[in-house]
Amino acid sequence: MKDVLGKTKKSNQRPKGKEEEPVFVPDKPLATQEGRIYITANPILPSLYPPLLLLSPLLLLPLLCLSSSPPSAFTSSAKITLSSTMPATDNQGSFLNRISIRRNQVVSMDGSHEQELEELDLFQKHVADRFSDLFPQPPQQPSPDSSAEAPAPDALLSISWLRKLLDAFLCCEAEFKAVLIMGRDPAQFSKPPLDRLIPDLLDRSVKALDICNAITHGVELVRNWQKLAQIAVFALQQQPIGEGQVRRAKKALNTMLTSMTLDDKESGHGKSTERTWSFGRRGGAAAAAAAVNKDRTAGGHFRALSLSFAKSWSAKQQIQAMSSNLVAPRVGEPTGLALPVYIMSTVLVFVMWALVAAVPCQERTGLATHFPVPRQSGWAQAVLGLQEKIGEEWKKKEKKGTAGVLDEMQRMEKAALWLVEFAEAFQFPMESSKADEVAAQVAELADVCRRMEEGLVPLQLQVREVFHRIVRSRAEVLDVLDQVGKLSSPVPY
């Protein structure tokens, strides 16, 4: 074929029956439409180009980059250039934005998971520290430079120790609520194992409320014993001690000891409490009734939690029910929020168990001396140590038949028994050596009464605070469960 100049022009038509291999010329366009792709030669890629041309330009870019060789191995590398005539589309931007958003989501999820693990570690550490501080410390030796005596450490199961125990519980409960509820997805509560652990925790909370009521009633009973002991102290502090003072002290102490040694089931109903209010009052039955009404009015806000328990109610059975399904998360499985729920359940059971052991409660005979706690956990070491010490004290109590393991009650009972024995063999005039022994026992009983006077009312207030804290926390968890139920329920159309 000849053009207008008369020169022969080569035909682009292929000979029939002959298939020509595609030839890729450097810097030549592969397509004639707008928006062209220029590809430089690469010794590795020629066999990959035809199938790659069928792909989207955006997908072609990462694939060619993966297949290209490093500059040190080859003298030329793949070079892809988008022509300036190719307009940018919205699909490209949305694709890249999706990649960026997904990457940010992954980073956010990793950060929240790390924060959750950090919160769980801190919660376990704080539980271990708070209960380690409850171990009885050895008495400190006074330094020669300081003239003031070092304060005596709190004895195990004393009133001051119980107040520290309740403080530790309130701190653990506040931190647990922050870990469980604040910033969490409510949908987690409907997934295993939280769908089983949360209802168990709520059930333990109800039983703990009953125990708080029983403890408040028991503290009120101890306050009445303290009043009887104060009568004996006041009588025996008179000088010289005569037969009238001795009879008065003996009657008060016998009434107190009889009430203390009653069966826990009977002492929980408060019959002896009402009987001892009128002792030592002047003016007959009318004055005694008026005094009882006055005392009830003055202490009405303390008796608000004191209930009349049914005869079948048992503090021992309440503790057994609370600890029956207390199972630690299995080793190796993803625990998540199941671990703090288990830790808080264990703390709740331990605190209620210690209160029942220390303070007189209805039907606590045969109280278990231990409940399952994982020994391999770091936070549980302090709880196990305290459990063993309290269990030993409880075994001694049941073996000796004493009133309880509260430190002040043991001291009061010991001094009262000695003074009753002295009163039965009293002869006037009293010898000077015997007077010194009596004075020492009276001073011991007076010190116990002073400690009870200072500590029982604050302890009662703390038990009340624990009661209301459990009620509020339980209501907050129920609100979250209610939200989960609303989210999972189908929307009516």
pLDDT digits (tens, 9 = 90+) for 389-411: 999 999 888 877 776 789 999 99
Closest CA to 347 of 326, 316, 318, 321: 326
Q: 201-227 pLDDT, tens per residue?
A: 999 999 999 999 999 999 999 999 999
- 220 in the same domain as 319: yes
Neighbours of 275 (CB within 10 A): 13
What local confidence, expressed as pLDDT, does residue 370 receive? 81
Domain encompassing residue 316: 112-136+153-488
Q: Is residue 241 part of a domain?
A: yes
Mean of the pLDDT values across residues 101-121? 62
Comparing 117-126, 273-282, 289-298, 450-459, which segment has the lowest mean pLDDT?
Answer: 273-282
Angle at which helices 407-424 and 432-488 cross, to 10°: 150
How high is the pLDDT of residue 61? 46
Q: For 172-189, what is each residue's pLDDT tens digit?
A: 999 999 999 887 788 888
**Whether the predicted pLDDT of 267 surpasses 80:** no
What is the pTM assigned to this prediction? 0.69
Does a structural domain hold residue 440? Answer: yes
Q: What percent of the chain has pLDDT over 70?
A: 62
Assigned domain for 291 exists: yes
Tell whether 358 and 420 lie within a shared domain: yes
Q: Is residue 104, in this structure, part of any structural domain at all?
A: no
Check pLDDT > 60 for residue 2: no
Whole-number pLDDT of residue 271: 42
Q: Could you tell me if 73 and 196 lie in one domain?
A: no
Residue 203 lies in a domain: yes
Same domain as 291, residue 237? yes
Same domain, 64 and 165: no
pLDDT tens for each residue of 148-174: 455 667 899 999 999 999 999 999 999
Question: Quick one: CA dihedral 389, 393, 394, 396, positive or negative?
Answer: positive
Do 303 and 252 sit in the same domain of this protein? Answer: yes
Same domain? For 483 and 410 the reply is: yes
Does residue 274 lie in a domain region?
A: yes
The structural domain count of the chain equals: 2
CA triple 406-255-257, angle to 5 deg? 35
Same domain, 157 and 236: yes
Write the pLDDT tens digit of every residue in 27-59.
444 444 444 444 444 555 455 555 544 554 445
Q: Is residue 22 part of a domain?
A: no
